[in-house]
Chain A
């Protein structure tokens, strides 16, 4: 789960890392009041969306008066921002963060991520702050410093010191930089983060180091021990179908195509999407009903697929193991009858009792064709759309 900038900064402040003075606002008038409250000659109004790249699309504006702050906020709140990371549908701005403007002397990039291949956290630091770190890594890899953290021993002060010198923090700022790094590591640990980024970390006139922007991604698997963080989840930007799927215990991702697919297992679901594409169609979604795939789940999954108005055909691909295909076929028939499906359906059942399953589908009288292989399923689904058109 990704946190908003203002939420991430709250966490940083509590950990003792300085951030600009700021106030969140949910309306233009609140933004005007926030400007007055901060009392700085210049402020910055920042759209709070769960995607980077705001600056390039008008999501960050410098303002000099309450009126300007109010106007800037009115141009953001309630509008949809389309950034390089926001996806096709863009993201609606519901809040802005109004912060004091600072005179920046120097900018750094500072982050901690997980290097999965060596199973350790890695600090990434660069003197090229404020820019896209992935782009810098590609173009000028020598400008990106890395320091691995031992998961058992944790970040050691000498490592933080070494980074501070190498990144060019300057002789007067080594201790401040080390202090921030050690605190950042503690936040990374205690909040179960997959990623924490301060980009940029800025050195201001008063020789203080301040986190000008912040990004945090919490490990969803660790929610059971973070009730506080779970409450920060912003579901308003979630696709409504994805939200419904999540509450039903289904893994669903909405895509742009017309063939809805229901599969058991994430790998098989991805393979099914690839198969649809290979047959000349486009998958409407990723949907993993999980290992058990009980009748109730099948029904909710089918309901979600059919609520997507772009879906013109449904492809069901199930590998029955412990789960028997005849049981599953009964579930499909029951769900399809109850939901009065109007689009053609193709089912491919393999594994335990697949022939019995096919027989049940054939006798159901529903518009479900049975495929003997994944390829046949893909071809039938694509053909059914063409013949329906």
Chain B
């Protein structure tokens, strides 16, 4: 089953006529994702890879019944694209775009409160339920159908972790990259809440990094008894210096808040199995769930 998406999810690609959007639309189609529409203002009526292109999200939703959207439009227009998708009734909006101004994202997050949509990202690899639906830019073949839920703030580090799971024989229920920005849609806690109710998820692997309080809030959620399945976690950035942004806009330690050690301690305290060495992710999860 997995969370948020499955084989029936009907996906719309915002920015499908662009280089990135077109490339990844093709990859998603090849994976078996039901890509039903694309949207690029001014390109309505054309088609890409046999997928019809619309000028507006609302028209695309009316004609095709799309219920999830993935956004590849440039940062300047991405917050508008998120709001357009939410307003058209799309229930899951996945924003891949990197570099959206944080003030724009704060407005988007308040506006989302008035809709029924969920946002994943921005600045994220997307979400995949192996064997059913891939919405994003992750390489499909490293995944395997199974019972480990994965939540991560990173891109390639997520692929690393997932591939280690797959190689050790463990499949995944759903893998979500929540993104590396300071202000974003779904959090670790939001994802844990959904995995708690997913009968196909037996355990969750969290990949965190320095900056913010998301991992600490997840630890509190677990401590409060709201997530009861086994949790494994790896936190990147133990060697990161204070005050320097480690690539992601959100990966920064400031005022002593958001250190890797603080996150490791909080999650360990909550009972999560901490993975100290990123080479051991697959092995440690395997040894504990088998």
Interface residues of chain A, those whose CB is within 8 Å of chain B, are 85, 87, 114, 116-117, 119-121, 134, 137, 150-152, 189, 192, 194, 219-222, 224-225, 251, 253, 255, 263-271, 273-278, 283, 286, 288, 291, 319, 321-322, 350-352, 373-376
B35 shortest CB reach to chain A, Å: 17
CB pair A267 B101 closer than 8 Å: no
B168 shortest CB reach to chain A, Å: 12
- A-side contacts of B23, CB under 8 Å: 322
B97 shortest CB reach to chain A, Å: 10
Judge if B86 is at the interface, Cβ distance under 8 Å: no
Select one of A253, A265, A375 contacting B244, CB under 8 A.
A253
Select one of A119, A150, A351, A352 contacting B105, CB under 8 A.
A119
Select one of B99, B137, B207, B214 contacting A221, CB under 8 A.
B99
- B-side contacts of A350, CB under 8 Å: 160, 163
Q: How far is A137 from B254 in the complex, measured between Cα atoms in Å?
A: 13
Decide yes or no: A219 and B103 within 8 Å by CB, A117-B212, A267-B158, A270-B246 being known contacts.
Answer: yes
CB pair A151 B276 closer than 8 Å: no
Judge if B180 is at the interface, Cβ distance under 8 Å: yes
CB pair A267 B110 closer than 8 Å: no
CB pair B156 A224 closer than 8 Å: no
- A-side contacts of B159, CB under 8 Å: 319, 321, 351
CB pair B182 A116 closer than 8 Å: yes
- A-side contacts of B76, CB under 8 Å: 224-225
B interface residue count range (under 10 / 10 to 19 / 20 to 34 / 35 or more): 35 or more
CB pair A266 B248 closer than 8 Å: yes
The 5 closest A-B pairs by CB, nearest first: A267-B154, A266-B247, A265-B156, A267-B157, A321-B139
B33 shortest CB reach to chain A, Å: 15
Judge if B111 is at the interface, Cβ distance under 8 Å: yes
- B-side contacts of A224, CB under 8 Å: 75-76
Binds A, one of B2-10, B38-46, B63-71, B231-239: B231-239
Select one of B27, B152, B279 contacting A375, CB under 8 A.
B279
Nearest-CB residue, chain A, relative to B212: A116
Question: Which of B27, B159, B244 has most chain A Cβ within 10 Å?
Answer: B159
B138 shortest CB reach to chain A, Å: 7
Decide yes or no: A270 and B279 within 8 Å by CB, A150-B110, A350-B160 being known contacts.
Answer: no
A329 shortest CB reach to chain B, Å: 17
Nearest-CB residue, chain B, relative to A318: B156
- B-side contacts of A288, CB under 8 Å: 247
B88 shortest CB reach to chain A, Å: 20
Q: How far is A302 from B277 in the complex, measured between Cα atoms in Å?
A: 26
Select one of A117, A194, A291 contacting B214, CB under 8 A.
A117
**Can you list, as one digit per residue, whether each of B75-117 has a CB less than 8 Å from chain A (1) or not (0)?**
1100000000000000000000001111101110111000000
**Can you list, as one digit per residue, whether each of B233-276 has a CB less than 8 Å from chain A (1) or not (0)?**
01011111101101111110001100010000000000000001
Nearest-CB residue, chain A, relative to B208: A267
CB pair A278 B276 closer than 8 Å: yes
Nearest-CB residue, chain B, relative to A120: B106
CB pair B163 A351 closer than 8 Å: yes
- A-side contacts of B217, CB under 8 Å: 117
Can you list 19 A-B pairs with a CB-CB distance of less than 8 A?
Answer: A120-B106, A134-B256, A150-B110, A151-B103, A221-B101, A251-B247, A266-B247, A267-B207, A271-B160, A274-B238, A275-B277, A277-B239, A286-B240, A291-B155, A291-B156, A319-B159, A321-B137, A322-B23, A352-B141
Judge if B57 is at the interface, Cβ distance under 8 Å: no
CB pair A267 B250 closer than 8 Å: no
CB pair A266 B251 closer than 8 Å: yes
Q: Name 17 extra pairs, CB < 8 A, besides A263-B156, A266-B247, A286-B244.
A: A114-B106, A117-B213, A120-B106, A151-B103, A152-B107, A152-B111, A219-B102, A225-B76, A265-B154, A266-B209, A267-B248, A268-B156, A273-B240, A274-B239, A321-B142, A321-B156, A374-B279
